[in-house]
Each structure stands twice: as structure tokens, then as C-alpha cells.
């Protein structure tokens, strides 16, 4: 891939100075376009060594060299570089990368909190694929757990519809609270399942298929796709879960506790204990997850998994259990909760906002807004409404909580996806009326346009950093800043009156479109 201006300048300075350097962007333009910290070296001696037609002048401020670049050269090289794949750093170099995300229990329609996993995972998959990783997206289906057993018990001989599962799940939880002995029937079903009872296996499969199909349909409407669905039951039927138990027993750290369960004692590592089996000997999710994780890592060492912050201890236990068997662990990305004003959402208690309801509300609000503008279509309403939903989640760094607020999430003003989409549509409207020419004078751009072009030049670095740090929010923040700069510029200048401005606008549109795609959002041509 071609290097952007900053990379070219950095490489030239590295060769001249014969050492690694890092060019930083100063907090104010008065300190130059880039700054170089000289550490214990003499700034004057370093300045004498630097010669480049990319640099206009260099000022010394304490231990810093403040570098002012050749604006015309910078503008020309940057604008010529912005093409369809601009921002791709070739970081992956066609290496295989496996990412597991979503993996919610197939027991009910997902709520907004659960959707954060899928939305972050989908955006990361796009960003990493754009950076030339060969991506496989996996979904681990918990099809043999206690929660499925509860639904099987609640459904009885009936075959429920997808939209009935949540009510069944809430009801069975309330029934268990009133009558704890009912739990024996739940475990009895699991025991029969593990022993291969064909009737019970069929009932479990029916419930899981209904739920998974419904969940995937909802997520698919948001543009979220998966390459593979991996079923937990596989590691039960092929005996790999039992093989993992045997390996852990050889470590000498597996004991039977006072409840008759087999546990992996990790107290010496300050990780408490990992429960491996129930008292009746049936295996738990942990054993099957260990088997699944080892299988994933055998496909490619570059593995990523998304887990809620409430799984931090569990992942540390999983990592330690893997190391006891001389196995590595995948990289983990933890994300925090989406909270209601009343607190954390819970499927069990029923105090949730369903993702499908939120999507419906987003669609209705977008539709009403478009009808006011007399520009309604269902496709456009979905692009705007679903984009608003996803942007609201992605713009917050994954380690921070999101306070769920309907008005803020669906606002068409401020730091939102509709604002970015509208900026793109505004540029497209201009370009439709006046086609940009490639025959322009790069010396004609003014200081405000130079500032805009500098912002465009940051895009490859933002995308690369998003890929390295697994942070889609960096792209969200960048797009907002870029659109704010353009809209301020637009309010002061008539774009169509200058072929240079039209050319600049076309490049800006290219970056907005790419940025929205990496976030899993559409860039409508009109709004």
C-alpha cells in the first residue's frame, strides 16, 4: 500500500536521523503541524540533519522540534492518495483471524444490552477485514445449558413461537423462585440429555432452532452476519468435554467439593474455583467452552472473543485452565453494560428493552422525519434509524457503560449517525449538480481547506489505531469531528463555485462513506 504524507515524512526522517522517531500532532497549530521530541539529544544538531521538500520550516521549542510542513506538497499528495481503499494499512497482510462475538443464550429475543456485543463485534470484523485480515466470524451456540432446559420444561409438549419464548422464560424463573424443587426437573432433563435420550435431544434442538433463527433474523436486519455457528453440544457428543476434564484432573487441581461437584481449584492464583460438573456428574458449560476454545486456536493463533465485563473473572479462570493444559488463550475484548435509568437489564426479571422494539422505534422515528421532508422510503428509514441505534452504541468506548436514553439515542442532531449521514447526503447533492474535475490547482486551497485536508489525512491512522486497539469508537469520534469541520466550512463558502472545493468535497465524501461502512452503517445519497 502507498504511504500517506505522515508516513512518508516519518520514513525520511528515520533514514536521515538513523533512529526510530514518532511524529506527534501538537495541541495547537502555532506549534507546527507535527512535533518531534528530541529526548536527551541536541535539538539544533537534529535540525541540521533534516532535509526534506516536505518541510517548510522547523522551530525549536525546548526539547521539541516543531515541524511546519510544505502545505502545497502536503495538499497535493494527500488528495491524490484518497481513493476507494484509502485508510487500509495492510496491517493483516492476509493473515487469518477468527473473531467470536454475540454468542447470546438461545432462550429469548435479545435485549439492547446483549446487542452491544454483536454491534461491536461486527464493526471490528469490518475494520480488521478492511486492514487485510482474512476474517472468520463465529457464533458459539449454548444449546445444552440450564436455560434451554428451563425452556424445554416450560414449553412442555407445545412448540412455542419465537415471540413467546421470553414470556416462557420469565414465567419459569418466577415458578422456580416460588417452588425451588422444580429445579430438580430442570436437572433431570439435562441428565437425560447428556445420556443421549433421543426425545429430549429433539426437544432441546427444537427450542434452540426456534430461538436462534429468530435472534439471527433480528441481527441480520442490522447487517450483522456470521460465517459459522458452533454448537456447544458438539463437545458433549464427541466426548471432548470429558477429555478436557481428564486433562485437568492430571494437573492435581481438581477436587470434589462439599456439594459433590468437581471443581478446579484456582485459589492460589486468586481466581477462586471453576466448577466443572454438577453433583450428578453432568458437565457444565466451562468444560465445553475449554474444548471449543482449544479447537478455535487450532484453526489460527489470532483469536478474539467479545465478553461482557461480568465475565472478567470467568475469562481469567478460562485462561488459567488453558495454561494448566499448556494451551494459550484468545485475546479478549470486554464491554460494559447498557443500563436503564433504573439499573442493569435482566432477561430473567423481564426489566429489559428488547432490541427488536428499539429497532422498531428507531424505524418509526426515522420514517416520521423523512415524511416531514417528503423523502420517505423504507430502505432510507432503515439506513437512518438502524444507523442511529448502532452509532449510539459504538461511539462510547467499550469499557464504559452506556446509560440507555431513548431521546438521546434517536436524536437527529448532535453526535449521531444521522448527522454524519446528512453531511454525506449534503455533499452528494452538491456533487450531483456540479461534477468535480481532477484538473485542479493545488496552490489555490486556503487555510480552512488546508485544515480540512489535514483532518482527511488522519483517517488512515485512525483506522489503523481502531484495528490495533479494537476501538470502533475512534472512527465514530473522527467522523463527527470531520463533519463538524466541513459543515462550518460549508456555511462560509459556496462549494460549487470552485473546482478545487468540489474536488475536496468528493474526497471528503469518500472518507465518510468508508468510515460509515466500517461501523456497519449505510451512507444514503439523499435524506
Parse the chain into domains and list their residue ranges: 5-69, 361-518
| Range ranked top by mean pLDDT from 45-49, 58-62, 424-428 | 424-428
User: What per-residue confidence (pLDDT) applies to 2?
Assistant: 58
User: What per-residue confidence (pLDDT) applies to 522?
Assistant: 97
Q: At what angle do helices 499-518 and 417-433 cross, to 10 degrees?
A: 140
Instruction: Residue 356: name the closest of 162, 218, 221 by CA.
Output: 218
pLDDT tens-digit map of 297-352: 999 999 999 999 999 999 999 999 999 999 999 999 999 988 866 555 555 555 67
Average pLDDT over the chain reads 92
More confident residue, 477 or 497: 477
Coil, strand or helix: which one is 333? strand
Neighbouring CB atoms inside 10 A of 160's CB total 17
Q: What angle do CA 409, 517, 373 make, to 5 degrees?
A: 55
CATH number (3.10.20.30, 3.30.1360.70, 3.20.10.10, 3.40.50.300) of 5-69 reads 3.30.1360.70
Cβ–Cβ under 8 Å, residues 204 and 141: no
378-383: long-range contacts (C-beta < 8 A, 24 or more apart)? 380/524, 380/526, 380/527, 382/221, 383/421, 383/521, 383/522, 383/524
Inform me whether the pLDDT recorded for 406 exceeds 70: no
pLDDT tens-digit map of 427-450: 999 999 998 888 999 999 999 999
| Partners of residue 161 on adjacent β-strands | none
Please report, to the nearest 10 degrees, the dihedral formed by the alpha carbons of residues 477, 479, 485, 488 taken in order. Answer: -110
Confidence of residue 42 (pLDDT cuts 50, 70, 90): confident
**Which alpha helices (H) appear in 276-353, and where do they start and end?**
285-299, 312-324
Confidence of residue 409 (pLDDT cuts 50, 70, 90): low
The 343-344 sheet, strands edge to edge: 343-344, 338-340, 402-403
- Please list, residue by residue across 418-434, b when 16 or more beta carbons sit within 10 angstroms of its beta carbon and e when fewer do: bbbbbbbbbbbebbeee
Confidence of residue 112 (pLDDT cuts 50, 70, 90): confident
Average the pLDDT over 201-224 and give the result.
Answer: 96
**Residues 6+ positions from 24 with CB-CB distance below 8 Å:** 34, 35, 36, 37
User: What per-residue confidence (pLDDT) applies to 40?
Assistant: 77
CATH architecture of the domain with range 361-518: Orthogonal Bundle (1.10)
pLDDT tens-digit map of 479-515: 999 999 999 999 999 999 899 999 999 999 999 999 9
User: What per-residue confidence (pLDDT) applies to 496?
Assistant: 92
**Residues 6+ positions from 481 with CB-CB distance below 8 Å:** 455
Please report, to the nearest 10 degrees, the dihedral formed by the alpha carbons of residues 438, 444, 447, 453 taken in order. Answer: 10
User: What per-residue confidence (pLDDT) applies to 341?
Assistant: 67
Q: Which three cell numbers stand for residue 38?
A: 528530541
Cβ–Cβ under 8 Å, residues 520 and 393: no
pLDDT tens-digit map of 266-291: 999 999 999 999 998 889 999 999 99
User: What per-residue confidence (pLDDT) applies to 346?
Assistant: 57
Q: Which three cell numbers stand for residue 184?
A: 430438580
Amino acid at each position: 500500500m502507498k504511504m500517506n504524507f505522515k508516513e512518508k515524512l516519518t520514513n525520511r526522517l528515520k533514514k536521515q536521523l538513523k533512529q526510530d522517531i514518532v511524529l506527534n500532532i501538537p495541541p495547537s497549530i502555532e506549534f507546527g503541524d507535527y512535533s518531534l521530541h528530541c529526548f536527551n539529544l541536541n535539538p539544533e544538531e537534529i535540525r541540521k540533519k533534516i532535509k526534506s521538500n516536505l518541510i517548510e520550516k522547523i522551530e525549536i521549542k525546548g526539547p521539541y522540534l516543531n515541524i511546519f510542513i510544505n502545505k502545497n506538497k502536503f495538499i497535493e499528495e494527500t488528495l491524490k492518495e484518497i481513493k476507494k481503499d484509502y485508510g487500509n494499512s495492510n496491517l493483516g497482510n492476509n493473515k487469518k483471524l477468527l473473531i467470536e462475538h454475540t454468542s447470546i443464550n438461545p432462550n429469548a429475543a435479545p435485549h439492547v444490552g446483549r446487542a452491544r456485543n454483536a454491534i461491536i463485534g461486527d464493526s471490528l470484523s469490518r475494520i480488521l477485514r478492511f486492514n487485510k485480515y482474512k476474517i472468520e466470524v463465529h457464533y458459539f451456540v449454548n444449546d445444552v445449558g440450564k436455560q434451554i432446559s428451563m425452556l424445554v420444561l416450560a414449553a412442555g409438549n407445545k412448540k412455542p413461537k419465537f415471540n413467546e419464548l421470553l414470556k416462557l422464560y420469565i414465567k419459569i424463573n418466577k415458578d422456580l423462585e416460588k417452588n425451588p424443587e422444580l429445579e430438580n426437573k430442570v436437572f433431570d432433563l439435562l441428565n437425560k440429555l447428556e445420556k443421549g435420550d433421543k426425545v429430549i435431544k429433539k426437544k432441546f434442538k427444537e427450542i434452540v432452532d426456534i430461538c436462534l433463527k429468530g435472534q439471527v433474523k433480528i441481527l441480520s436486519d442490522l447487517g450483522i452476519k456470521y460465517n459459522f455457528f458452533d454448537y456447544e453440544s458438539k463437545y458433549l457428543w464427541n466426548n471432548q468435554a470429558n477429555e478436557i476434564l481428564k486433562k485437568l484432573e492430571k494437573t492435581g487441581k481438581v477436587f470434589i467439593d462439599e456439594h459433590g461437584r468437581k471443581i478446579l481449584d484456582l485459589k492460589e492464583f486468586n481466581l477462586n474455583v471453576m466448577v466443572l460438573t454438577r453433583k450428578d456428574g453432568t458437565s457444565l458449560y466451562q468444560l465445553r467452552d475449554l474444548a471449543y476454545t482449544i479447537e478455535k486456536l487450532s484453526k489460527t493463533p489470532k483469536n478474539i472473543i467479545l465478553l461482557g465485563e461480568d465475565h472478567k473473572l470467568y475469562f481469567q479462570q478460562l485462561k488459567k485452565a488453558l495454561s494448566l493444559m499448556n494451551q494459550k488463550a484468545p485475546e479478549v475484548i470486554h464491554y460494559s453494560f447498557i443500563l436503564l435509568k433504573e439499573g442493569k437489564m435482566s432477561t430473567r426479571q423481564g426489566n429489559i428493552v428488547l432490541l427488536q422494539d428499539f429497532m422498531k422505534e428507531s424505524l418509526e422515528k426515522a420514517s416520521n422525519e423523512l415524511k416531514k421532508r417528503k423523502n420517505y422510503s423504507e430502505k432510507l428509514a432503515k439506513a437512518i434509524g438502524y444507523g442511529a441505534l448502532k452509532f449510539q452504541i459504538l461511539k462510547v468506548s467499550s469499557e464504559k457503560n452506556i446509560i440507555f436514553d431513548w431521546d438521546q439515542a434517536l436524536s437527529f442532531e448532535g453526535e449521531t449517525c444521522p448527522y454524519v449521514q446528512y453531511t454525506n447526503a449534503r455533499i452528494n447533492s452538491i456533487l450531483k449538480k456540479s461534477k468535480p474535475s481532477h484538473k485542479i490547482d493545488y496552490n489555490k486551497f486556503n487555510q480552512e481547506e488546508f485544515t480540512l485536508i489535514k483532518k482527511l489525512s488522519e483517517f488512515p491512522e485512525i483506522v489503523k489505531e481502531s484495528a490495533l486497539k479494537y476501538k470502533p469508537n475512534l472512527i465514530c469520534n473522527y467522523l463527527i469531528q470531520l463533519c463538524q469541520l466541513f459543515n462550518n466550512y460549508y456555511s462560509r463558502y459556496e462549494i460549487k463555485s470552485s473546482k478545487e472545493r468540489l474536488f475536496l468535497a468528493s474526497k471528503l465524501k469518500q472518507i465518510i462513506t468508508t468510515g460509515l461502512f466500517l461501523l456497519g452503517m449505510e451512507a444514503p445519497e439523499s435524506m
